[in-house]
Structure 1
């Protein structure tokens, strides 16, 4: 994933500089085939190659150059999640890699509680509803991975914003007790300085149906969207094209402006908690 992000950036700068691949190959004294593989992320550029290419493309911004050199240095680093790779789909591994590198993460969910907010009991209950029968050991492994992903937020390693449709909190898809615990966890995490949780109310109408769940990621000091992960029946798809990034960034802004403010969202969640307690009694 890091190699792919690096390759995408190098391709964008090459095109902006009006270089073709044979010309780029001359810069690094290599072949057009290698340039192609660098830009698709099939191989990782060496730091010296990144420096030479950026210099040829006229990229002088020290922050940009430093960021891309860091990607080249660390693209082959072994992430913690690879210890669990035997239990994970390749697309899920890509999603985790994006999260691990991100400085800003934004998520929209209209069916389930976002993974970065889920309690272990909620995660386990959701996994067990899968039509694919899983042995208990694999379920436990997936729950462990979900908890490990949340460490990024708990440690303040990224600014995290989540927008949740009201149906997610008012219509439990798990047992009432697990759901009550989950609502408490959302309120607790939502009090962190680096976390914002908003609820999109039913009153906005059909807006919640315009798009399925997605996450956006930024990797710099500014929150400009640089990758989007879409959830679908076959897993997760990652989008990196400029038009796609702009479309999902605009969609998230629309959802955020239509959602309740964080304080009002927390008040709504607390009200639902009380109603669940009253129903239980």
Structure 2
């Protein structure tokens, strides 16, 4: 997903402290779900870890992070024996406060955009639908700079450069093979340049190159798909295990980026991506279409 600059840039100060991190929130949500499945209430959970009910509540909301020993005790009491689940939750507890590379820019980024980057950094599978512009994970520096410059909000040159740097920094996850990445783009994104023609051609060439990576799949939803292109706004889904089970979804809105974690929301967006993917051209056919568009753009300027 490619939030516009207004969504990425911090427009006003945010109260320090007390805000859940995306990792602590994921841990808290999982602990709450396992507690409820075990038919225990928060006071009972508090007794298990010799803490107050208020602490259990704050752990489950993500406002504080459970210690590893607390996670182990709670999972024992909840009957969670799967070693993979236990290891994942213990790892979240152990590393929830680790500083990511992006936090050096956090003073200039919206907190919800920081959450989005954290999800990308933790993900093993990323699935993205983009009907408007090139996804941030695929943008060239020149394309990213042009998008930032086109923001309706004035952005100081120093901040603009930081936004481009952050967007390029996000791409290391894909370049290093740290996640499987599948992107579906509407054909209009490719055929109707939103930036300078030369920058757009460079972007299409880069798209073809990155599409050759073993961990990357690029598909194009053709214009002939019609109304399906408006089926959903841009969104990204994230999985954190070996299997691509959707565990979080990030999507744009007028106020920024919303992260969805409810079971019904996750199922809906997983189905939406499957529908879009089944209607899109195959990766090989998509690459051929991109090459065709690139040739036509070159001919138009010759």
Which bracket does the TM-score occupy, shorter chain normalised? over 0.9
Q: For residues 130 and 242 of structure 1, what CA distance do their matches in structure 2 show? A: 34
Match of 2:205 among 184, 187, 203: 184
Report 1:127-146 matches (<5 A). 127-146=148-167
Q: CA deviation at 1:231?
A: 0.9
Q: Does structure 1 residue 126 correspond to structure 2 residue 147? A: yes
Match of 2:288 among 267, 270, 280: 267
Q: Does 1:215 align with 2:236?
A: yes
Return the offset for 1:136.
1.0
Q: Distance in 1 between matches of 2:190 and 2:212?
A: 17
Distance 1:100 1:77 in 2: 12
**Which of 16, 22, 33 matches 2:54?**
33
Q: In structure 2, what is the Cα distance between the partners aligned to 1:19 and 1:200?
A: 47
**1:168 and 1:229 mapped to 2: Cα distance?**
20
Partner secondary structure for residue 169 of structure 1: helix
In the TM superposition, what are the counterparts of 1:55-134 in structure 2 within 5 Å?
55-134=76-155
Q: How does 1:139-158 map to 2 (within 5 A)?
A: 139-158=160-179
Give the whole-Å Cα distance in 1 for the aligned partners of 2:224 and 2:38.
48
Higher relative contact order at CA 8 Å, sep ≥6: structure 1 or structure 2? 2
Instruction: Tell me the residue number matched to 1:171.
Output: 192
Q: Which residue is equivalent to 2:17? A: none
Runs of 5+ unmatched residues, structure 1: none
CA distance in 2, matches of 1:116, 1:108: 12
> Does the residue aligned with 2:188 lie in a helix, a strand or coil?
helix
The count of residues paired between Structure 1 and Structure 2 equals 281
How far off its partner does 1:233 sit?
Answer: 1.7
- Give the match for residue 242 of structure 1: 263
- Does the alignment pair 1:5 with 2:26? yes
TM-score, normalised relative to structure 2: 0.92
Which residue pairs with 2:5 in the alignment? Answer: none
| Alignment deviations for residues 149-182 of structure 1 (CA, whole Å, 9 cap, x no partner) | 0000000000000000000000000011000000
**Deviant stretches of 4+, over 4 Å:** none
Secondary structure in 2 matching 1:112: coil
Q: Structure 2: any 5+ residue segments left out of the alignment?
A: 1-21
CA distance in 2, matches of 1:139, 1:116: 17
Tell me, in whole angstroms, the C-alpha distance in 2 between the residues paired with 1:200 and 1:31.
52
Aligned Cα RMSD in Å? 0.5
Return the TM-score normalized by structure 1: 0.99
Deviation, structure 1 residue 202: 0.9
Q: How does 1:183-202 map to 2 (within 5 A)?
A: 183-202=204-223
**2:57 & 2:228 partners in 1: Cα distance?**
40
What SS is found at the alignment partner of 1:173?
A: coil
Separation in 2, partners of 1:279, 1:115: 27
1:104-140 per-residue CA deviation (whole Å, 9 max, x = no partner) reads 0000000010000000110111111111101111111
